A and B are shown apart, each in its own frame.
Chain A
Amino acid sequence: MISNASQCSGLLSRRQALGYLAGCAVAAISACPSIVRASPRKRVVSIGGALTEILFTLEADNDLVGVDSTSIYPPRALGYPNVGYARQLSAEGVLSLRPSHILATEEAGPPAVLRQIAAAGLRITTLPAKHRYVGLRQRVLGVARVVERNETAQLVLEQLDTTWQIVRRQVNAQTAHSLARPVRVMFVLAHSPAQMLVAGAMTAAQAMLSYAGATNAVQGFKGYKPLTPEGLIAAQPDCLLVTEQGLQAAGGLEALFKLPGLEHTPAGRSRAVIAMDALRLLGFGPRMPEAVLALHQALYAV
């Protein structure tokens, strides 16, 4: 810890202050034997919004030295050096943070840059980007292994499992009791008022919808495809699901309701739109069970 502080380039006074702080921390930790750490502080670069969120949940933010541009939650994550978009990393940029570990999802890239980083002798831990609850558990365990927070991880997982069971029970109860068919939802990903995509199969949005007891109103293709007025009318969604960021990009609720064709669907007639934060809804991070519950409640309150 001390050696780490001395590596920091900066004013002497800052160095001394860091040393003092480090000393305090060491004193505090040694005063509390149950959380004695065996290894020195790690330097982790986290590439993926969900992974950063998990790091913060595991209270391992001390080990964090850099994040990618998708790491927008918790807000404190925005204060870390940003290595850019997860798929357009720069080897030198990542190495300049002097990391000891790289945490990444399968989505990180480009492959050539990952090879360069690995060639520098760094361990890159790649975690599955699976859009399932099991995937979330795997990510929590994987992150915990890297930052050596296995006990905290067990606690976090217990909590997640409990919440998840409650969520599952509530969703199952609702879908079993409701006499009507499940709500048909269309997830719209908007980058601008002119450019909107809808989510088909094999997407995070579809996974969240089925967990929340709804069906995807759009069938027949994988991934995201451009939204067309005819496709919208053919899908007949009961409700639109958007991200808050997307809603903003689309120009707000009013602009969304002006979508051609929407007035001929149940969603347009009842003006049913649900907006959720993008990372909370699609990130499959620690907030995922709670997000499923929120989505479910919003859907069945409609």
Chain B
Amino acid sequence: MSIVRAVLRAQPSWWLGVSLLMMLALAVQVGAVPVHTSDWLAMPKLFEWSAVGDSIQTLSAGSHVLFNLRLPRLLLSVLVGASLGLSGALTQSLFRNPLAEPGLLGVSAGAACAAALTIVMLGDLAAAIHPQARAWLLPLAAFIGALVVCFSLENMARRIAPGSIAALLLTGIAMNALAGAVIGLCTYLADDDQLRSLSFWTLGSLAGARWLWVGLFAGVLATGYCRLTRSMQTLNALALGEAAARHIGVDVHGLRKQIIVWVALLAGLAVAFCGMISFVGLIAPHLVRLWVGPDQRQVLPLATLLGGLLLLVADTLARTVAVPAEIPVGIFTALVGGPFFFLLVRQARGQTA
């Protein structure tokens, strides 16, 4: 057991990276439609298309499933999971509280609130615009909702008690309650159809994955990650407490603003496209901290990797367990992460005792 632990301790990022790749290789093979080696051979054809998605009839059924449904979905689940893991790690380090998650800031609730308002209040507008644009209306509204919540949060918290992270937390809780009330009102006003569209946002799903989304997510995640790696040392300083961090020369206010913006971007985008996928943002950084300790230089990259792996496993289960039907992915994120968590908490306690 101690040897295993020693190996695990040696290169956690290597382990996570390899398991992520292995899981990808496995996940691409399983699914409702069997994929054969010959289906991979259609790959060169993909690059001949002028417009992706237009002339799919030239592909076999297996290749279509592989390249247009399964691959974007797998990659999106990794990217969304990674975004949630990263934003979770950021939130926890900002609040210096292991129970914090992006939901605590009201980001998810803000996005869902905007989505609910769009579904219920702007139903007629949605019917009037072009179907192609309609698909983008909801994600856009949800994303704007997440951003609005984050910025008003920052402003309000500063007005209540400048520089206090406790004030930020309390404002976040108030925001959550407010958004919850609006969602509740929308649920009450909604008719049958709208109610069912609303339930999508609370369940979360990766079923609509498209290459365009994958590209968008990859871009945002990469930019955010590169920006944040520069602040990892200062995040470590923040763990000492706000006052201490300020004394050793950290621009706490600037750091806080930067973190809030990126949490809003990452988590807001995830909610906008995939609905509320719970638990990943909470558990990925938590697991990582139990594994490698609290050094942010390790926690941020590992939480990103682990979040991606976790959501990939959960979504693969969601896709395959009840074939040909599908089970909401949120059930599996908790189901996969929960037992893991128990195990690590027990181990961690064993070490300290």
Chain A residues engaging chain B, CB cutoff 8 angstroms: 66, 69, 81-85, 87-98, 107, 109-113, 115-116, 119-121, 202-203, 222-225
Contacts and interface: CB of A to CB of B under 8 A. Distances in A.
B319 interface: yes
B335 interface: no
A90 B56 contact: no
A93 B324 contact: yes
Q: How large is the interface on B (under 10, 10 to 19, 20 to 34, 35 or more residues)?
A: 35 or more
Contact of A116 (B68, B191, B193): B68
B174 interface: no
Given A110-B207, A224-B192, A96 B32 contact: yes
A51 to B, nearest CB: 17
Contact of B319 (A92, A94, A113): A92
Given A110-B207, A112-B135, A97 B196 contact: no
Contacts of A83: 324-325
12 contacts: A66-B324, A84-B324, A90-B325, A93-B325, A95-B69, A110-B207, A112-B135, A119-B56, A119-B68, A120-B56, A223-B191, A223-B195
A37 to B, nearest CB: 25
Interface in B65-119: 65, 68-70
A69 B325 contact: yes
B17 interface: no
Interface in B186-211: 188, 190-193, 195-197, 200, 203, 205, 207-208
Contact of B324 (A85, A96, A202): A96
A244 B116 CA distance: 32
Classify the secondary structure of B's interface with A. helix
Interface of B: 31-34, 53, 56-57, 61, 64-65, 68-70, 134-135, 188, 190-193, 195-197, 200, 203, 205, 207-208, 319, 322-326, 328
B213 to A, nearest CB: 10
A284 to B, nearest CB: 14
A78 to B, nearest CB: 14
Nearest to A225: B188
A120 B208 contact: no
B325 A87 contact: no
A92 B325 CA distance: 9
Contacts of B205: 88, 110
